[in-house]
Amino acid sequence: MTLKRVVITGLGAVTPIGNTIPEFWDSVVNGKSGAAPITNFNTETILTKTKFACEVKNFDLSLYMDRKEARKVDKYAHFAIGAAVQAIEDASIDKEKENLDRIGVVLGVGLGGVESFGEGIDTIHEQKKNGQELKVTPFFIPRIIGDMAAGYISIMYGFSGPNYITSSACASGTNAVIDAINLIRLGKADIIITGGTEAAVTDSGICGFNVMHALSTRNDSPETASRPLSASRDGFVLGEGAGVLVLEEYEHAVARGAKIYAEVAGWGLSADAYHMTAPEPDGKGAAKVMQNALEDAGLKPEDIDYINMHGTSTPLGDIVECKAIKSVFGDHSYKMNISATKSMTGHLLGAAGAIEAIICVLSIVNDIVPPTINHQDDDMDENIDYNMNFTFNKAQERVVNTALSNTFGFGGHNACIILKKYSE
């Protein structure tokens, strides 16, 4: 069968460096860090090595839902709803003119309602200690399960097409986008609201990643703590937020006169099949996922203009990803631009792939490659080839016809998408 073309017609973002697309993109281009001391909980009363994160700031939930409804779902869903409303409005979807059975919602979530789960368990433990009847809010289960963000958005709009979440750790957002691509390619839907969301900056989230030695402990300088590709990197900075894209079948978008940002070129999936948390040392899985994406897109390595790295700022991960890029792209690694935007946003776990896909879309639209911030010329890792064309500290103008986004998750999950400039 002939696969249908898939285009992007709407964008929405709630992030540590901006709660709208214009604010987010301005921060990305100007190299703004979202890292700061944690405000979500009191780090002084809880002994934790890391006391900073990339939190969402000044998010006005009342713009998207009323207070009574907001109590029914966790913060991770709040972020998703905010980003989805933005994206749907940006795409100018008029539900009175659409077949709602042909519109779906597919989101990626890594952990789900972590904050609500912690609060509920604390309540139960306290009641048990005091010999009381165990009782939590009737919304306890709806608030903790990961599918509720997608479910609630469908309820808000009456979208009755495919509706579910994907969960593959830090690759969740990209996996969701890939599922959305396939649903539209195969003619199962006209429009899919897709992306990822996460709200894991909690005491348990910080504690859990700390004991794995995954987080930076640079408490004296949070804004410079995420430093991908630098020798002094000591772990990632935990982030939170959501990114949502409206994916649409090309002919459907044209027929309704939709604004088209970019087009999907291809996608890839692979597994390291190596370790629960560590990457395969030679980067075989990471290389394979990029090769699969190029093959699906019908592109050659030299066709790629920009790679948005997974680039978390972990000692092993950055080296392995650079090895994989060189193995796939060879000398073209010295020509195409490469950057790691988690240096600004932190690592949004299940939302990472979504906001980085948005960055790739905007790079294509604006012909600008965003930077990897926090890199110093004297902070070189001998295991990284700095002849590769890394975009350090300052955004670079260049024609971006194609952009590739990598996401890799605990468990060895690798997901990759390639986007391209739209042309009729």
**Enzyme catalytic residues:** 170, 310, 347
- Is residue 64 a contact partner of residue 82, using CB atoms and an 8 Å limit? yes
Other beta carbons within 10 Å of 39: 11
272 vs 415: CA distance, rounded Å: 11
d(Cα 188, Cα 389) in Å, to the nearest integer? 40
Q: Could you give phi then psi for residue 152, rounded to 5 degrees?
A: -65, -40
Q: Is the dihedral of CA 251, 256, 257, 262 positive or negative?
A: negative
Residue 334's region, left for phi above 0, alpha for psi from -120 to 50, else beta, is alpha
Neighbouring C-beta atoms of residue 255, cutoff 10 Å: 10
DSSP 295-357: HHHT--GGG--EEE------HHHHHHHHHHHHHHHGGGGGTSEEE-THHHH-B-GGGHHHHHH
How many whole angstroms separate alpha carbon 168 and alpha carbon 243? 16
Element (H, E) at 106: strand 103-109
User: Which tokens sit at 113?
Assistant: 């309602």
Q: Which of 146, 95, 149, 144 is nearest to 119 (CA)?
A: 144
Q: Which string of b and e fits 18-35 if b means at least 16 CB within 10 Å?
A: bbbbeebbebbbebbbbb
Look at residues 408, 13, 7, 421 and name the one whose alpha carbon lies nearest to residue 191: 7
Q: Are 129 and 112 in contact (CB under 8 A)?
A: no
Q: Name the phi and psi angles at 78, rounded to 5.
A: -55, -45
